[in-house]
Amino acid sequence: MIENIVLAEVSHSNSHIAEIYYNEVWQNSGSATAKLNTQNYTELLSDKDFINFAQNSMRFFQNINITSMGLYSRNGEKFLASNNLNLNQGAEVFGGFYDKISYKIDSFFLKDVISTAGLKEALSGSSNYAIFANATLQDAEQSFTDRQLVVSYVPIIVNFKVVAVLELMTDVTDQWDKISILERKVIITFLVVFAIFFAIVMYNTHYAQKVINQQVQINQLLGEEKNRAEGENRAKTEFLANVSHELRTPLNAIIGFSEMLMSEVHGPIENEQYKEYIRDVNNSGNHLLSVINDILDFSKASADKLQVENIEVDLNKIASASMRFVKPRADGAKVELIEKIPTAHIVVIADPKRLKQILLNLLSNAVKFTPENGSVTLEIETNELEKLVHIKVIDTGIGMSEKDIPKALSSFGQVDNKSNRHYEGTGLGLPLTKKLVELIGGVFEITSKVGLGTIVTITLKYTDSIELV
């Protein structure tokens, strides 16, 4: 990162310096520059034009922030080299330059710090830049220091040909140190932020793990409680089923004998009061048997033991039979029964016994909660596109609020308000009906408004076998 920043800045600056050098020194040097590639180095040392060009070059680079410079011929031979840190000033410039050139030739044979690859690339016409980190330089006080240097090789091109290569060595130690410090601060900041973030993540992970463990424990406890509640519910269901079964036997005897007494099989009963008592016994027995049957069916349905046998059923016949069965009760309650059944016979897949039980429960329930001069309507509609049939039982009864519907659908639930406390029932009619509808593959829906009535809708699928009558 540091290298990229420094190289981008210094390379741009050195390219600009090379351009200025070419315009101010190179082009004004006369024939001296042409001699670089035509005369050997010994001849150049005694050539006044070249010495003048060399002095001008040294003065130019003395006034620019360049650590050292070098000039190479197009053959890669170095003819000029300077170092602003130990270059003499004033009248001794030439002598200093001459001494340095001699020193380079005699002692180092012009092999100072050179990037061979960079020089070759410059000789081919492309500028090249490289960083020499921790290079050791000797300053004017003859002390050695480690510096950070950027070496630039910029080709001097005349008439589309490379005639020389300018080497510029720039000391970027200060910039390097500043950027290094900044980079260290950024890295330290990043590490601190990462450490804080890691600590937060670890804390949250630990906290989340703690919450998960607690949730697992709670789920285990809930599972145990659920299993216990289900066990108790199964036990209660089995108990109700056993009790219901035990009660049905004596009830059947009571109902049977009361019917025999009512028919006066073994002789007339002359006392009218006795006849009234017998009818009350029979009615009470039938009512109790109906309640017990509902409890038994509901218990079996709750325990998933209620079996259904879905076959093709003529919905019209079952609906009409159910209406005829409920009619005596409706007449007694002075409630009008209305039939809206299609003339085409609709065949559905359902258990005929359970389907009839569903319709009887809904119609009886509607008649029970509908006051005198009200009406109960059985309406059947078909959706031929989706092959669905909607069976609706609509009453003009007391109704109930939306918030009371879940209670009415719960086991033994009864809506507790003054308008219906006097109605008999265990509260199993709607819950049992809903379970039966689901068992035969239907959908149960209910809507109601207080004082306006209730609409119960049962949706079933019907087959394509529709017979017109």
Quote the pLDDT of residue 441.
Answer: 87
- Sequence-separated (6 or more) residues with CB below 8 Å from residue 392: 377, 378, 379, 380, 381, 455, 456, 457, 458
Quote the pLDDT of residue 380.
Answer: 92
The dihedral over CA atoms of 412, 417, 419, 424, expressed in degrees to the nearest 10, equals 20
- CATH 3.30.565.10 residue ranges of the chain are 311-461
What are the φ and ψ backbone dihedral angles of 57, each rounded to 5 degrees? Answer: -65, -45
Query: Which of 424, 288, 434, 421 has the alpha carbon at shortest distance from 362?
Result: 434
Beta-sheet strands, E only, within 265-329: 311-314
Quote the pLDDT of residue 196.
Answer: 93
In the CATH scheme, what architecture does the domain 179-302 have? Answer: Orthogonal Bundle (1.10)
Quote the pLDDT of residue 99.
Answer: 40
Region of 389 (left: φ > 0; alpha: ψ -120 to 50; beta: rest) is beta
Q: What superfamily does domain 311-461 belong to in CATH?
A: Histidine kinase-like ATPase, C-terminal domain (3.30.565.10)
Quote the pLDDT of residue 278.
Answer: 85
d(CA 434, CA 405): 13
What's the pLDDT tens digit per position in 12-58?
A: 888 888 888 888 888 888 777 777 777 776 777 778 888 888 888 88
Neighbours of 72 (CB within 10 A): 25
Element (H, E) at 358: helix 352-368
d(CA 469, CA 466): 10
d(CA 365, CA 332): 14
Residues of the chain with pLDDT under 50: 84-114, 140, 142, 417-422, 467-469
d(CA 129, CA 114): 11
CATH 3.30.450 fits 2-171, yes or no: yes
Quote the pLDDT of residue 107.
Answer: 37
Burial 256-281, CB ≥16 within 10 A → b, else e: eebeebeeeeeeeeeeeeeeeebeeb
d(CA 190, CA 184): 10
> Strand 336-340 relative to strand 375-383: parallel, antiparallel, unpaired?
parallel
Query: Which of 413, 289, 432 has the alpha carbon at shortest distance from 362?
Result: 432
Quote the pLDDT of residue 456.
Answer: 92
Query: Which of 26, 57, 32 has the alpha carbon at shortest distance from 46?
Result: 32
Quote the pLDDT of residue 457.
Answer: 93
Beta-sheet strands, E only, within 172-261: none
* Alpha helices, H only, 25-135: 32-35, 41-45, 48-62, 93-103, 116-123
Quote the pLDDT of residue 375.
Answer: 92
Element (H, E) at 323: helix 315-332
What's the pLDDT tens digit per position in 100-154?
A: 444 344 334 334 444 567 788 888 888 877 776 665 555 545 455 667 777 888 8
- CATH 3.30.450 residue ranges of the chain are 2-171
d(CA 26, CA 179): 35
Quote the pLDDT of residue 67.
Answer: 74
- CATH 1.10.287 residue ranges of the chain are 179-302
